[in-house]
Amino acid sequence: MITQYEALRIAKACAKQYRLSWNEKNLTVTKGPFDETPCFIVSTLDDGMAETGSWMDFVFSMPVRFYIDALNGTFLGYEAGNRGVNRVKPASS
């Protein structure tokens, strides 16, 4: 079983690998199922436009969710906005 901090580290590395938005200020980590697999769901909001503090920054921000297997730390997939989950195929041995 991994910790939520390990899930956060894995999600951040995957955000960089898949060129997805990452914002340290808007992070949440929750537990939940993903195809009946217990996982950590790491959620963040991209900065939207610019960091001006404008209400438009929030309105145009896009949520990104990373699904990390809570048992072994495998990255299962990600969801950008409400476009459905992009599943990641496990690496072949």
pTM higher than the cut 0.75: yes
Structure confidence at residue 93 (pLDDT): 41
Q: Cα dihedral sign for 38, 14, 55, 81?
A: negative
- Domain range spanning residue 71? 4-49+60-81
Strand intervals (E) in the chain: 27-34, 37-45, 63-69, 75-80, 85-87
- Domain membership of residue 72 (yes or no) is yes
- Domain membership of residue 16 (yes or no) is yes
Please, are residues 29 and 90 in contact by the beta-carbon 8 Å criterion? no
Q: Which residues neighbour 40 within 8 Å (Cβ) at sequence distance 6 or greater?
A: 2, 4, 7, 11, 29, 30, 31, 67, 68, 70
Tell me the CATH number at 70: 3.10.450
Q: Which residues neighbour 44 within 8 Å (Cβ) at sequence distance 6 or greater?
A: 15, 21, 22, 23, 26, 27, 28, 63, 64
Amino acid letter for position 7: A
Residues 48-62 pLDDT 10s = 555 555 655 555 667
Over residues 16-41, mean pLDDT: 90
Residues 56-90 pLDDT 10s = 555 566 788 999 999 999 999 999 877 767 677 76
Our count of domains for the chain comes to 1
